[in-house]
Structure 1
Amino acid sequence: MAATTVEADGSGLLAGSVQIPVADGALLPAYRAAPEGAKGPLPTVIVVQEVFGVHEHIQAVCRRLAKSGYLAIAPELYFRQGDPRKFPDIDQLMKLVLSVPDAQVLADLDATTGWAARNGGDARRIAMTGFCWGGRIVWLYAARNPSLKAAVAWYGRLAGTASANTPKQPLDVAADIRVPVLGLYGGQDKGIPAESVAQMRAALKAAKAPAEIVVYPDAGHGFNADYRPSYNEAAARDGWQKMLAWFRQNGV
């Protein structure tokens, strides 16, 4: 996996791997970054990985958030099923991803938010962001946990066929969302049709959910992934600033 190109080194930060106890007695690996020497409790952002796992780009996202004053934590949400870094073939990787139940992921995110509150984070100021696979999870978790203060979903799938591991999609839970959620999407995204974005907007409006969706007309899927050809600098930079502003305006 290529390194990220947006500058996000670890200077001035406490950054590295941690382990989070989860409900089944396992230890959930995670990457944590926070301002070094900061006196807590800190506003916290749970970062939900791309389909490729908690690789360098997601770790860099955590460091960027830490440089803005946050405790940022990215849990390895496939850890029971396998390590996505060991699946260079996309078809094999997708088999791994599809074997991960949403119920397991959401429970592990419960454990992560609890761990954050016990380890330097402020339980009253916890937000979430996620990318691609993680963007979809952000919508689902916002419907599950109303104690989140804010959430930002980057190009997460909104609709799809139900399965045993993925029984609901964001469209199915729009009526349950009471957390302020900002969705960031690309108008050229070939995997997330404009129709599903329009449907999600309508569902959120009908539910009077405190959510907004921004579409960047010239951006495709993965426009914040600065290590891939999909990177769109203008959309990525604007989306990042909108994310930080969303967190601030909602008290995180």
Structure 2
Amino acid sequence: MSDSLSATTIFLTGADGAEVEAYLARPDGEHTRGGVVVIHHMPGYDRATKEMVRRFAELGYDAICPNLYSREAPGADPSDAAATARAQGGVPDDRLVGDVGAATAYLRALPTSNGSVGVVGHCSGGRQAVLAGCRLDLDAVVDCYGAFVTGEPPAGYPLKVTNLVDQLPSLGAPLLGLFGAEDKTPSPDHVAELDRRLAELGKPHEFHTYDDAGHAFFATDRPSYRVTAANDGWERIASFFGSHLTGRES
């Protein structure tokens, strides 16, 4: 397999009919492969997230990241767009599902698709990845330190968000969770609750918690970056997707 790839901006149509900007990266070649939807973190549709999209293409997947803030601030700087979206309470869950559903359909329509699509998200995107796994037909879900999958937002929290406990029975794909022991949202107690609930529901999942890491340990451009945890996490993600995005039977 060649390590050459291409990347470009495209536009999707969200479930509400809105035009949604998205970043697409694909490995060269016409061989069939799985797809990955990357859900960006709360800071937005930024350079670091696009680097992740390209990394999944390097790993051999067609990968796409929808700009969840396209409606609030089209064409804006990522930090400005994130501030605008945050001031409006964040991305509504139904709209998120629609945008990720549009990205999933786009990947499955590519001539190189083997039918399998996974989703991965960091920070707020981790929770949204689990939400997508509960509401969409996906083959694998990766939650990187997503807050409020379990637990309750504190009083005065600026985003209009609830936990996903009532939706977990609908989770239809295996889940990989990567967490930091020093994180507070989600805290180790939140992770333990999620582990327990998924086990009770019989949902396939595997969790890994890194002792020397807090929130955002994958973020190479932030002080929270932890190289050992991030490198191990990437290896686990590659192995997980390698096991679950191998194609659907026709």
Tell me whether the two structures share a fold, i.e. TM-score over 0.5: yes
Report Cα offsets for 1:145-189 as digits up to 9, x if no partner. 2x31111110101232499x8564233322221310101000011
Sequence identity percentage: 30
C-alpha separation between the residues in 2 aligned to 1:89 and 1:173? 29
Check 1:92–1:15 CA distance in 2 against 1; reply closer, same or farther (3 A cut): closer
SS in 2 for 1:112: helix
Q: What is the alpha-carbon distance in structure 2 between the residues aligned to residue 85 and residue 60 of structure 1?
A: 17
Q: Does 1:151 align with 2:141?
A: yes
Tell me which residue corresponds to 1:185: 179
Deviation, 1:74, is 0.4
1:128-139 mapped onto 2 (5 Å cutoff): 128-139=119-130
Equivalents in 2 of 1:74, 1:89: separation in Å?
A: 16
Matching residue of 1:13: 5
Please list, as runs of the form range in 1=range in 2, the aligned pairs for 1:67-106 lying within 5 A after superposition: 67-82=58-73, 85=77, 87=79, 94-96=86-88, 98-106=89-97
Q: What is the rounded CA distance, in whole Å, between the counterparts of 1:237 and 1:171 in structure 2?
A: 30
8 Å Cα contact 2:16/2:95 also seen in 1: no
Equivalent position SS for 1:203: helix
Instruction: Indicate conservation of the 8 Å contact 2:145/2:185, yes or no.
Output: no
- Determine the structure 2 residue equivalent to 1:8: none
| Count of residues in Structure 1 that have an aligned counterpart in Structure 2 | 238
Cα distance in 2 for partners of 1:189, 1:102 equals 24
Q: For residue 121 of structure 1, report the CA deviation from its aligned partner.
A: 4.9
Displacement of 1:234 in angstroms is: 0.3
Query: Unaligned regions of 5+ residues in structure 2, if any?
Result: none
Letter in structure 2 aligned against 1:224: F
Residues of 1 paired with 2:180 and 2:30: CA distance?
38
2:66 & 2:134 partners in 1: Cα distance?
A: 19
TM-score (norm. length: structure 2): 0.87
Alignment TM-score, normalising by the size of structure 1: 0.86
Residue 46 of structure 1 aligns with which residue? 37
SS at match of 2:208: strand
Partners of 1:33 and 1:72 within 8 A in 2: yes
Task: Tell me how far apart the structure 2 counterparts of residues 201 and 76 of structure 1 sit (CA, whole Å).
Answer: 30
Q: State the 1:92 CA deviation.
A: 5.8
Q: Is residue 104 of structure 2 the alignment partner of residue 113 of structure 1? A: yes
Are the counterparts in 1 of residues 180 and 209 from structure 2 also a CA contact under 8 Å? yes
